[in-house]
Structure 1
Amino acid sequence: MAFTDQRFDVNLSILFTELPLLERPAAAAAAGFSAVELWWPWIETPTPPQAELDALKKALDDAGTQLVGLNFYAGRLPGPDRGALSVPGEESDRFRANIDVAADFAASVGCKALNALYGNRVDGVDPAVQDSLALDNLVLAARAADRVGATLLVEALNKPESPLYPLVSAPAAIEVVDKVNELSGLGNATFLLDLYHLAMNGEDLNEVIDLYAAKTGHVQIADNPGRGAPGTGSLPLADLLDRLAKAGYEGWVGLEYKPGDGPSAEAFGWRTN
């Protein structure tokens, strides 16, 4: 499989998880990567002690790795949750408490993309109420991202693995992106185009790229089926990434796949095949 010269970064929340968090940036660097991304690393709290934030910054700096993407607090991820911003009550409050913490940490390490996972539908709650809450919180997140010179990412997930998540198509996520930009007036909300999730939804990936490349702020990949490394499934990832590049996308491509049975350091052989 031949790949053109893409800017790949490693998602340290799914790769190198056999190591403690603070050892993962150095492991990514040893595997040949200068950029990484993360889900919110502190699953239990939206507001970790400053010492823990400082320790992660030091680990990134010492490894010479650039953090290029960071999730806002999203509940238990990995786990049953798919975000917090549309979930009324305590989870929405936790998301709001996290907004400035995440934005300020991103600013401290030069991260320019902040991903806000929408959250699952809640039994007994009117979806319209959740959607209104989501827009309020996304506008707050967009303002915080703008304050630190970052873009806000809105992601579509896949319905088979996330049946309660409402944004399970590219058009659904783009609709939210457009609403947030209209309400905030900032224009910094963008689409997180995850080729694996969209493939799982049965979407026409070429069409998605052609329609939405201009609104895409970040890209993530895994092969399908299996969510493994490129070449373990049937997606023509090299061709799709070439199509994205030709459509004008010049950003990072996050490697958000499962490493398989071996150590994560052995999960990148496709880059030289």
Structure 2
Amino acid sequence: MQHLGYELSANVSLLWTEHDYLDRFAAAADAGFGAVETWWPFPDAEPTAAQEAELLRSIEAAGVRLRGLNFFAGDMPAGERGIATNVARRAELTANITAVRRIAEATGCDRFNLLYGQVADDEDPTAQHATAQEAVTIAAAALADQGGVVLIEPLAAGLNGAYPLHTHEDVIALLEGPLAGVAGVGLLFDTFHLAMNGVDVVAAAGRSAAHIAHVQIADAPGRGEPGSGDLAWDEVFAALRAAGFAGPVAAEYRPTGSTADSLAWVRP
């Protein structure tokens, strides 16, 4: 599916929630999407062989390409937003990186969102940041020969606990600082999270152009489909084009009605 010159992928963790999870890949294909992405779909960092095979069968049967996959991020419903900052969970993350690599090999997936993790106020913040940065480096190295890019995403303040990355500038500071020289790492430019943190999304597209590796779109406020909030979408896409960003772009929003009705904004 195309929108203003960009191939769109559909995030099946938020779209088609009216269907069971494994049925959403076929629903995306039926709606005209050739590519999809998903948050980590398993309750644990390391899926069973049966769980992994079931996911791969559903993707293959739908005839869609898996374009993006999140690493395991802990207990998201309970409020966790990644485990990379937590050195005590390094073995868990290491096992997850191995599982992500298997899925990448099987599907050709090349974008991987590694949520940075929250910073505990009872531990040394410098050490926690160093732990997360080491995790990003390890993950990028593990996926390098697959052409994979590890994504670092700023999240909306106030909605994600003590998550320390709030703007594109926070991520660029990492990419140009402690992660400079680490290949296969880039900025996940999420319009909802940035806008909720007071960022001018149109202006930020130009500033971030050299580092954007993936774009996710949702309106703000509300995180609904484009047109449900206040963002100027023609200007957003024009800014991305002017900045030289060629894709990919993912629809990662919570539909305000049915998913089918929420796609009315798409223009070839």
User: Structure 1 length normalisation: TM-score?
Assistant: 0.92
5 Å-filtered alignment, 1:1-273, equals 4-42=4-42, 44-89=43-88, 91-179=89-177, 181-182=179-180, 185-260=181-256, 262-272=257-267
- Structure 2: which amino acid aligns with 1:266? D
The answer as to whether partners of 1:180 and 1:189 remain within 8 angstroms in 2 is no
The answer as to whether partners of 1:73 and 1:94 remain within 8 angstroms in 2 is no
In structure 1, distance between residues paired with 2:173 and 2:10 = 28
Tell me by how many angstroms 1:79 deviates.
4.1
Percent identical among aligned pairs is 37
In structure 1, distance between residues paired with 2:224 and 2:91 = 35
The one-character-per-residue Cα deviations of 1:88-108 (angstroms, maximum 9, x if unpaired) are 31x333112101111221121
In structure 2, distance between residues paired with 1:118 and 1:27 = 31
Distance 1:66 1:79, change over 3 A: farther
Give the secondary structure class of the aligned counterpart of 2:214: strand
In structure 2, distance between residues paired with 1:203 and 1:194 = 11
Tell me by how many angstroms 1:214 deviates.
1.7
Give the secondary structure class of the aligned counterpart of 1:17: coil
In structure 2, distance between residues paired with 1:102 and 1:179 = 26
Give the secondary structure class of the aligned counterpart of 1:268: helix
- Structure 1: which amino acid aligns with 2:93? F
Deviates more, 1:72-81 or 1:117-126: 72-81
Tell me by how many angstroms 1:175 deviates.
1.9
Give the secondary structure class of the aligned counterpart of 1:7: strand
RMSD: 1.7
- Structure 2: which amino acid aligns with 1:152? V
Give the secondary structure class of the aligned counterpart of 1:214: coil
Give the secondary structure class of the aligned counterpart of 2:6: coil
Tell me by how many angstroms 1:238 deviates.
2.4
Give the secondary structure class of the aligned counterpart of 1:161: coil
- Structure 2: which amino acid aligns with 1:251? G
The one-character-per-residue Cα deviations of 1:93-132 (angstroms, maximum 9, x if unpaired) are 3112101111221121010111110011113111111011
- Structure 2: which amino acid aligns with 1:221? I
- Structure 1: which amino acid aligns with 2:10? V
Tell me by how many angstroms 1:181 deviates.
4.0
